[in-house]
Homo-oligomer: A and B are copies of this chain.
Amino acid sequence: MKAIIGKPLNRVDGEIKVTGRHLYPSDMWEDGTLLLGLKRSVHPHAIIKRVDTQEASKVDGVVRIFTYKDISGTNRYGVVHKDQQVLAEEKVRYIGDAICLVAATNREALKEAIDKIKVEYEVLPAVFDPVEAMKENAPKIHKSGNILQHTTVSYGDVEKGFKESDIIIEGSYSVPFIDHTPMETEAGFAKMQDGKITVWAGTQTPFRDRKEISKALGIPEEKIRVIAPFFGGGFGRKDGITVQIYLALAAYILKRPVKIYYSREESIQTSYHRHAAVMYYKTGAKRDGMLTAVQARLIFDTGAYASFGGEVMSLGVEHFAGPYRVPNSRVDGYAVYTNNIIGGAMRGFGVPQVTFAFESQMDKIAKALNMDRWEIRYKNALEHGDKTAIGHTLIYSTGVKRTLKKVRESNLWKGKDKLIAESTPFKRRGWGIACSYQGGGLGVGIPDFAEAKVELLPSGRYRVYGGISDMGQGNTTGYVQIASAALNAPVEMIEYTTPDTDRTLDSGPSAASRTTYIYGKALLGAIELLKDEILQVAAEKLSCPKNSCKLIDDRVESDKGTIHLSEIYKLLPEKKRVSTFYVDMPISKDRRDIGSGLPHIVYAYATHLAVVEVDILTGKVRVIGYCSVSDVGKVINPPVFEGQVEGAVAQGIGAALTEGIKLKDGLALNNNFTTYIVPTAVDVPQIEVIAVESAEPTGPFGLKGTGEINVDAPPAAVVSAIENAVGVRVSSLPVSPEEIIKSIEVEDAIP
């Protein structure tokens, strides 16, 4: 029955979604529901002098306009630093800070009321460049100063390393804010139910939300219930508070059902985003390509609020030198406040930024030494037992070399020369390569656990109480497969419950490539305990040794007879029908004290190969071939895995070629899908997806995590291919056609 692991299984949530029976958070509605909306700041930095809601209140259909004065709690939230206000008190720090929450019976009234709220501001000087913001005399956004966090890690002796090197390569790189572009924007529904504020929301963190709502509003946690149904995508954007507190506040005070959803424009301007960053690198190597030292300075723009700014930057610091042996290193990371939109969690969490920079450096070294780009990576690639560039030891499965070996067996590798030979005078082709690695879990020092719950039902079926949100990535299907395998029962016997703070147990965020790994691990433990109780009671009933009893489908069999699970249900005391099991994420054995949230220890690895075609007349780049080889441990469900890889690569190609929020004085100019260009099926080639499946002893059935690893390498692989095609090395994302045309030498351009 273990055969279900590694086999395709249709999404358990597939049917209800494609038939429209599933209610997404933005679908929820019942009679009498009020619509909620927000009056937001139009200035990036200002003092609020006066808020006048009088005229707005008179709009027909408006039920209530809330300001911060209606909030009895702290009015603050934030994952690590509680620096965001539910409703602004006296200051706004970016274009989009919420000032008033409006509840109305219809959308027109809501819009009219929001327009009619008058806010008088005293506009303050603002700062939009993180390098400027770090300066002494920059406008101060928070009392604590503009540097949210500075993390320095060194290992070995970087000066000595550079002295021993034969060449030194320096480079500067920059990347913009990136939007997650989930299909469903921030949305939710709430009402009072059984005396509790009950919030249904698109959220990656229902348990943390409950705490945040409780503190911000001054309402005990026992009075709050947060439910996370399947929702339409998150990618980190919903890792924390978006609409949840507004819903809870309005439902609690108005005692009516309430609903909110953001327009795409509102969402892009006010959500969390992948951090913009500027990065300076210096890399030393021997003549044979062996790295001797790497030094870097990373500046991450966290915008107006902290969110995960320090933590994202910390992951940049941890992964700053890629999956390579670097005996001497030093990295300085800064997370800096500006009056821009907010930087936060996004798939990759700091790693996409540094992967672009560091892999570009690897290419430059290869070029300077006239080495093959594959070879320099293979020579330096980390192995089990090696120390990383920040000096911690890789104690678990370490598959980067396997991905490098395997990429050479791919169809794309074997066919790339032929593809490239088809270049035409104005359409030049080239190939590029990049490696990456991605730590799973929240890192040393941050509580990182899961607690699974599984129940034997009266019918003899089982129910898995999934404690981690499924935003569409398919983890629920993974849990059902794991349960099916471990219980030796067909998937039809497994029911599931999505996260609900009243029914499931806190298992942390749906984030950090941890979701299936850690909950799956906890689930295996809970099942083992439940099985033991089932077999124990069966053995007693059948008067035979426990180890002669076997759980098969819906029954226990032994030489002495068979008992159906519905019978077992009756024999088990109530308490023993439910089993729970708690696990902590494994942490690094060394370097536990270099910061918070780093290092990690269970890593996924990838090698990506891209073939591009550059139109040298327009500068337009087309990705015409792509192969991802990744080591995510055992693949539980191949189609789900392939979907994760394809989505991540597409997102990475977007980051390489078209995406990036264009900001003008803190305002997103490209705030919808007409101007913020996400690659479509036409822009992404067929992706060759390969898994090397290293055995990971700590993971459930050997699984690691698939969520993020494949989003890191695409920009570096594409940029590598562009240089291979036209000799232009791009150091700023997204790739600008103008820059390409400008950089191509005239004699090169005319064949």
Q: Are A589 and B531 in contact (CB under 8 A)?
A: no
A575-B383, A575-B385 are contacts. A532–B695 as well, Cβ < 8 Å? yes
Q: Are B384 and A546 in contact (CB under 8 A)?
A: no
Q: Are A384 and B582 in contact (CB under 8 A)?
A: no
Q: How many copies does the complex hold?
A: 2
User: Is A525 part of the binding interface, using a Cβ–Cβ cutoff of 8 Å?
Assistant: yes
Q: Are B581 and A697 in contact (CB under 8 A)?
A: yes
Q: Which residues of B contact A698 (CB under 8 A)?
A: 525
Q: How far is the CA of A135 from the CA of B625 in the complex (A)?
A: 82
User: Is A694 part of the binding interface, using a Cβ–Cβ cutoff of 8 Å?
Assistant: yes
User: Is A580 part of the binding interface, using a Cβ–Cβ cutoff of 8 Å?
Assistant: yes
Q: Which residues of B contact A524 (CB under 8 A)?
A: 697
User: Is A688 part of the binding interface, using a Cβ–Cβ cutoff of 8 Å?
Assistant: no
Within 377-428 of A, Cβ neighbours of B (below 8 Å) are at 383-385, 393, 395-397, 402
User: Is A47 part of the binding interface, using a Cβ–Cβ cutoff of 8 Å?
Assistant: no
A383-B575, A589-B449 are contacts. A528–B581 as well, Cβ < 8 Å? no
Q: Which residues of B contact A449 (CB under 8 A)?
A: 589
Q: Are A694 and B395 in contact (CB under 8 A)?
A: no
User: Is A665 part of the binding interface, using a Cβ–Cβ cutoff of 8 Å?
Assistant: no
Question: What is the chain B residue whose CB lies nearest that of A634?
Answer: B547
Q: Are B695 and A529 in contact (CB under 8 A)?
A: yes
User: Is A536 part of the binding interface, using a Cβ–Cβ cutoff of 8 Å?
Assistant: yes
Q: Are A529 and B584 in contact (CB under 8 A)?
A: no
Question: What is the chain B residue whose CB lies nearest that of A521?
Answer: B697
Partner of A584, one of B396, B402, B587, B695: B587
User: Is A693 part of the binding interface, using a Cβ–Cβ cutoff of 8 Å?
Assistant: yes
A402-B536, A536-B402, A589-B449 are contacts. A395–B695 as well, Cβ < 8 Å? no
Q: How far is the CA of A322 from the CA of B481 in the complex (A)?
A: 40
Q: Are B546 and A693 in contact (CB under 8 A)?
A: yes
User: Is A595 part of the binding interface, using a Cβ–Cβ cutoff of 8 Å?
Assistant: no
Partner of A529, one of B6, B397, B528, B580: B397
Question: What is the chain B residue whose CB lies nearest that of A525?
Answer: B697
Q: How far is the CA of A524 from the CA of B698 in the complex (A)?
A: 10
Question: What is the chain B residue whose CB lies nearest that of A702?
Answer: B528
Partner of A384, one of B579, B589, B695, B702: B579
Question: What is the chain B residue whose CB lies nearest that of A696?
Answer: B528
User: Is A586 part of the binding interface, using a Cβ–Cβ cutoff of 8 Å?
Assistant: yes
Q: Are A531 and B385 in contact (CB under 8 A)?
A: no
User: Is A131 part of the binding interface, using a Cβ–Cβ cutoff of 8 Å?
Assistant: no
Contact with B along A560-591 (1 / 0, CB 8 A): 00000000000000010001111110110100
Q: How far is the CA of A384 from the CA of B383 in the complex (A)?
A: 40
Q: Which residues of B contact A587 (CB under 8 A)?
A: 584
Q: How far is the CA of A568 from the CA of B247 in the complex (A)?
A: 62
Contact with B along A492-529 (1 / 0, CB 8 A): 00000000000000000000000000000000110011
Interface hub of A395, A396, A547, A587 (most chain B Cβ within 10 A): A395
A408 to chain B, nearest CB (A): 13
A383-B575, A586-B584 are contacts. A532–B395 as well, Cβ < 8 Å? no
Q: How far is the CA of A583 from the CA of B536 in the complex (A)?
A: 30
Question: What is the chain B residue whose CB lies nearest that of A583?
Answer: B586
Q: Which residues of B contact A575 (CB under 8 A)?
A: 383, 385
Q: Sample 21 A-B pairs with CB under 8 A, ordered by A number.
A: A6-B547, A384-B580, A385-B575, A395-B582, A396-B581, A397-B529, A397-B532, A402-B536, A451-B589, A524-B697, A525-B697, A525-B698, A528-B697, A529-B695, A529-B697, A532-B694, A581-B697, A582-B589, A583-B586, A584-B586, A584-B589
Which residues of A line the B interface, CB within 8 A?
A: 6, 383-385, 393, 395-397, 402, 449, 451, 524-525, 528-529, 531-532, 536, 546-547, 575, 579-584, 586-587, 589, 693-695, 697-698, 702
Extra A-B contacts (14), CB below 8 Å, given A395-B581, A528-B695: A6-B547, A384-B579, A384-B580, A385-B575, A385-B580, A396-B581, A397-B532, A451-B589, A528-B702, A531-B695, A532-B694, A581-B697, A584-B586, A584-B589
